[in-house]
Structure 1
Amino acid sequence: MASDTSTASAQTLLIELGCEELPPLALAGLVDALATGIRGGLEEAGLHFGEVLPWATPRRLAVQITRLDPRQPDRDVERLGPAVAAAFDKAGHPTRAASGFAGSLGIEVSELSRIDTDKGERLGHRYTQPGETTAALLPEILRRAVDALPVPKRMRWGASRVEFSRPVHWLVALYGSEVVPCEVLGLSADRLTRGHRFHCPQSITLDHADDYLAQLESPGYVIADMFRRRDMIIEQVRGQARELGATAVIEEELLDEVVGLVEWPVALTGRFDERFLAVPRECLISSMQANQKYFHLLDADNNLMPAFITVSNIESRDPQQVIEGNERVIRPRLADAAFFYDTDRSRPLASRIEQLASVVFQKELGTMADKSARVSVLARAIAERIGADTANTERAAELSRCDLVTEMVLEFPELQGVMGMYYARLDGEDDAVADALYQQYLPRFAGDDIPAAATGQALAIADRLDTLIGIFGIGQRPTGTRDPFALRRAAIGVLAITVGAELDLDLRELLGLAAQQHDRIDAAAPLVDEVLDYMLDRFRSRATDAGMSAETFLAVRARPVSHPFDFERRLHAVHAFSHRDEAQALAAANKRVANILAKQDEAPADVDRARLVEPAERALFEAIEGKRAETAPLIANRDYASALDALAELKAPVDAFFDDVMVMSDDDALRRNRLALLAGLQGLFLEVADIAQLGQS
């Protein structure tokens, strides 16, 4: 950087770290973390800048920062020293306190000022501290940003003791057209970057930080902008598909991986033998995606086509050779899938039940055979409650883990459930049984489908409840950072199914039944309560995602509700009620009632109508009794929204009661009667939720 920055203008900063090919799915996270770290360092230093632009390819992490100030702004500094009274002796000579303070600043005592403070007059010194140059600040900012990168497994290379995700080979640090002297990971900064490994293996000299993207693209054959590279891949893949009259299936995770694998994307179409289409499409797709990162194609009837699209990282002079090379590679992969499929079909799925006895589910909870037996009992109980065929449900539970020991699932674990469904159909099992083997894994993620059929719903819920009660029972509860058995996802899955399918199931009852099936855990009530609490607490995120307040969740959570479908209906009812004009007043009144009743040694008895002496308390009693009769059938039908709408009309008599009636009367009988009246009011609302929680924010 130029030495004279007094009149220099803001320039673009470019940082590029060049290395061996980085893990493709980690690329976005790494470059975002680098950009965040540098941004934070600049902000902490008080430097002003414009845009922060992260760029990344498999071989580089780069950040451009536009309009970055050449130096920190100057700042006014005030240093306070000893009190004036302690700074001079009786003769007016400086004391050691004054001399020491002046010496620490490098000035004479005579140059100090007297400054009035809220603690009296003190010696001090005011001066302007010049800002540091950006060039001087950047080495430490960059070092801290690189050290903080989320690299889970670091490696060393050569004789160096430097550690990073992959070996690093070059470092660019340019501020405008000047190199910023700095060192990171054992590399000294320069203006030399590198282009495509094959198309432009020589170094490229960057004249200015603003030229980075353009010079990498030409002559470098590198598209450093991940979003542009992504758009290019989508456009090219769709273009190739159109030429075949097909639709390319572009799944996000595969697309992210391909974006992280190439610097110069070139889409090409290859083909495979039609005979492989006899294998279930999911097997072929898994093989193409997992092994080769290919995009598969569908015809107009949504059938898998014997073709694929690969994204090459090279612009070949003879593309056909690249295509044929990919076809040669995929052929044995698909042949393996066909072999696994044929091998698995040679014996029925049910014949694998015995193998499950040798597959451990969890060492303290037994084998997969033990789990299947437990799930079978629980699934049947659920089936009886939701009207599913119990025989089909038990059969599905019996077969539910059998595909885990098939050759296909051992090779492609993501096909569990899918292969169970295919093999069950080939064996002539009932369609409901076969479908349940696939549906037991639904939903797999937020927003995914839930099981469509009752048999699948019963099996999916039973499997998750067995896992939850078992893992909690052996003390392996999830933490904020560790959940190896995906218990949070299991709990959310149960809620999604029961709410989405409107199943009237009591989780407390089912968890108790699930606990009884385990002979290695204590099935006592505290365990059931703990798991139930954990599951119902997952409603908090559901409520938040639906735009509800935390208070709405707390209002419902305060009640002993263990039916998820019922819990969800209450949530929506309280959410709607919270937007009524009467809500806050009634919430405050209920809070007041709760505080009053909490201080009583014993629960109030029933209201004695004859002791209601004030017009306001008689009016409130009549209103409560009327609303009790009106809301009882609504609550019985779980029409909580209408019940709360009706209860909202209590605002006027409640307000009048608190305005006109002394609850804590000196007359013991009157006081007890009024407490009983308030208990009745509170109980009426508690039939739905504890709306006192709505006044907590």
Structure 2
Amino acid sequence: AILGAFDSQFLALPEEVLVTVMRDHQKYFAIQDASGKLLPHFLAVLNTDSDPQGLIRHGNERVLRARFNDARFFWETDQKKSLLERLELLKHVTFQKDLGSYYDKTQRVQRLCSWLNEQLKQRGVIVRPGVVHKAACLAKTDLTTELVKEFTELQGIVGGLYARVQQLDTSLPEATRLAIADAIYDHYKPESTDDSVPRSLEGAVLSIGDKADTIAGMFALGLVPSGSKDPFALRRQANGIVKVIAEKKLPLRLRELMQDARTGYQKSQAEKRFVDDQKYLESIETFFRERLEFYLRDVCGYAYDVVKSVLGADSDDVVDVLARAEAVKRVLHMPEFQAIGAACKRMRNILRQADEKGIAPATSAEALPDSAQEEKDLFTYLQQSGAKVEDYRKKKEYLPALQLLATAREPVDKFFDKVMVMADDQRVRANRLALLRTLLKEFSTIADFSEIVTEGKG
């Protein structure tokens, strides 16, 4: 390895630019002091043992100096035109050949972010709408800058840096201007499962809006990722949406988000090429369910059957799915739930077989005069505990709800031990099928327990 140096005057450039040049373009290591401040030195790892005359070091320093001079030139040239003045230039930057320009995208994202602000406000989460609107307006303008054309990996970051130094609208308080700059800087985040989410709520809203708009447009055109093919990185962007919603604990539903994202394309040139609404929603729901499954398993580390069971109940509200997964994980070791998992599988099979034979359950279950005692006991359990479970569920208190459901084991076991569901008497049989259907529905509001692996954890 060779330790090189560069002129400290280059430290006037943003650290992000210098590190990108050194790390990504020259494959050097940037060097910081103990406090994390960048020093005017770099480390180059070379496949040579020595450099006695310093020729290799000087050569590397010369190359780096040229790259830094280019970066400084681009930075200074870009300042001659403000981000706001660059907005019109986005009309000439193509987003996707069928989906228009980045100017069109900017307008859609602004509209979608306004919708997101309103949804969050209705659910008690306050976002500064002016910050989001201005950040969404300027977020893509750095695509027209020389610095981003040269260092494409800095898109978003450059916009945030320029927004900070250009002061934007001087009538705004400094804190607001900085908040706009930060939201622009962060809006591509997270770019991987290891990357952090945007720092602010405003940055989070912009990040979600930008990604949802891209996914909606591509899916509406039928450009769905398949196998290893994902040319528009839609999986990564959907992973980003899930991670932001999860970590910021945002009360958003994925279906609503993606429905509204699609409406942004109404009356556009691309709309006549779109797949129908039903096909769009079905493919979007399948796609996001896969992304949510990936997040729960690979990022959060939940067991396969926990993930399958909670997604089997509902996979639309990310924060709620996580809360249910945590509750299920905590009760899964209980023998009651192993037994209930087996009972749910049995109920599902009986109901499926009855359906295949054209045997319908009664409209609702009741305690018939000639019902077996075990049947009456199970019906009584449902009446007494069902309302309490529902009350817990509405309050999202999933652990006590599951602990209450665990008490169903005894009446369920006795019912299956003593009662023949498919009785000869049509009225009795229909009533028992209705009882099983009601019970299965009761169990499946938090998690689909028929997905639980009852022998050995998966």
Question: Same fold by TM (over 0.5)?
Answer: yes
CA distance in 2, matches of 1:317, 1:365: 54
Quick one: which of 570, 575, 584 aligns to 2:329? 575
Q: Is the 8 A contact 2:51 2:57 kept in 1?
A: no
Deviations 1:121-165 (A, max 9, x none): xxxxxxxxxxxxxxxxxxxxxxxxxxxxxxxxxxxxxxxxxxxxx
1:675: Cα distance to partner? 2.1
Amino acid at match of 2:248: A
What SS does structure 1 have at the residue aligned with 2:194?
Answer: coil
Tell which structure's C-alpha radius of gyration is larger.
Answer: 1
CA RMSD of aligned residues (A): 2.0
1:391: Cα distance to partner? 1.8
CA distance in 2, matches of 1:419, 1:329: 23
What SS does structure 2 have at the residue aligned with 1:361?
Answer: strand
Quick one: which of 285, 297, 303 aligns to 1:532? 285
Tell me the residue number matched to 2:262: 515
Q: Is the 8 A contact 1:392 1:455 kept in 2?
A: yes
Q: Is the 8 A contact 1:559 1:690 kept in 2?
A: yes
Deviations 1:641-678 (A, max 9, x none): 33122101110010111112222223333222222222
Amino acid at match of 1:524: D
1:695: Cα distance to partner? 4.8
CA distance in 2, matches of 1:596, 1:694: 18
CA distance in 2, matches of 1:579, 1:479: 37
Tell me the residue number matched to 2:118: 384
1:346: Cα distance to partner? 1.7
Q: Is the 8 A contact 2:361 2:431 kept in 1?
A: no
1:557: Cα distance to partner? 2.7
Say whether 1:588 aligns with 2:346. no
Amino acid at match of 2:132: T
What SS does structure 1 have at the residue aligned with 2:229?
Answer: coil
CA distance in 2, matches of 1:612, 1:378: 59
Question: Mapping of 1:62-141 within 5 angstroms?
Answer: none
Quick one: which of 426, 448, 453 aligns to 2:200? 453
CA distance in 2, matches of 1:292, 1:693: 51
Question: Mapping of 1:373-452 within 5 angstroms?
Answer: 373-386=107-120, 387-429=126-168, 430-452=177-199
Amino acid at match of 1:501: K
Amino acid at match of 1:541: F
Say whether 1:320 aligns with 2:54. yes
Tell me the residue number matched to 2:123: none
Say whether 1:471 aligns with 2:215. no
Q: Is the 8 A contact 2:314 2:321 kept in 1?
A: no
What SS does structure 2 have at the residue aligned with 1:582?
Answer: helix
1:606: Cα distance to partner? 2.3
Quick one: which of 304, 310, 322 aligns to 1:556? 310
What SS does structure 2 have at the residue aligned with 1:605?
Answer: coil
Tell me the residue number matched to 1:637: 395
- Residues 352 and 646 of structure 1, relative CA distance in 2, 3 Å threshold: same
Tell me the residue number matched to 2:406: 648
CA distance in 2, matches of 1:532, 1:552: 20
CA distance in 1, matches of 2:22, 2:451: 54
TM-score by length of 2: 0.89
CA distance in 1, matches of 2:111, 2:95: 17
Tell me the residue number matched to 2:427: 669
Q: Larger relative contact order (C-alpha < 8 A, sep ≥ 6)?
A: 2
Quick one: which of 273, 276, 280 aligns to 2:7? 273
Q: Is the 8 A contact 1:277 1:306 kept in 2?
A: yes
1:366: Cα distance to partner? 1.0
Say whether 1:486 aligns with 2:233. yes
Tell me the residue number matched to 1:147: none
Q: Is the 8 A contact 1:469 1:511 kept in 2?
A: yes
What SS does structure 2 have at the residue aligned with 1:270?
Answer: strand
CA distance in 2, matches of 1:360, 1:611: 73
Quick one: which of 288, 292, 295 aligns to 1:542? 295
Q: Is the 8 A contact 1:507 1:562 kept in 2?
A: yes
1:526: Cα distance to partner? 2.7
CA distance in 2, matches of 1:572, 1:421: 37
1:551: Cα distance to partner? 2.9
CA distance in 2, matches of 1:603, 1:524: 33
1:314: Cα distance to partner? 3.3
- Residues 603 and 404 of structure 1, relative CA distance in 2, 3 Å threshold: farther
Question: Mapping of 1:53-64 within 5 angstroms?
Answer: none
1:315: Cα distance to partner? 4.1
What SS does structure 2 have at the residue aligned with 1:551?
Answer: helix
What SS does structure 1 have at the residue aligned with 2:313?
Answer: coil
What SS does structure 2 have at the residue aligned with 1:450?
Answer: coil
Tell me the residue number matched to 1:214: none
Unaligned runs of 5+ in 2: 121-125, 169-176
Tell me the residue number matched to 2:31: 297
Quick one: which of 192, 200, 209 aligns to 1:462? 209
What SS does structure 2 have at the residue aligned with 1:538?
Answer: helix
1:633: Cα distance to partner? 2.3
Q: Is the 8 A contact 1:597 1:679 kept in 2?
A: yes
Tell me the residue number matched to 1:197: none
CA distance in 1, matches of 2:389, 2:349: 25
Aligned length: 431
- Residues 291 and 674 of structure 1, relative CA distance in 2, 3 Å threshold: closer
- Residues 320 and 362 of structure 1, relative CA distance in 2, 3 Å threshold: same
CA distance in 2, matches of 1:673, 1:312: 79
Deviations 1:429-464 (A, max 9, x none): 422211111211111112221112111111111111
Judging by fraction of residues, say which structure has more strand.
Answer: 1
TM-score by length of 1: 0.59
1:621: Cα distance to partner? 1.5
CA distance in 2, matches of 1:326, 1:692: 63
- Residues 682 and 317 of structure 1, relative CA distance in 2, 3 Å threshold: closer
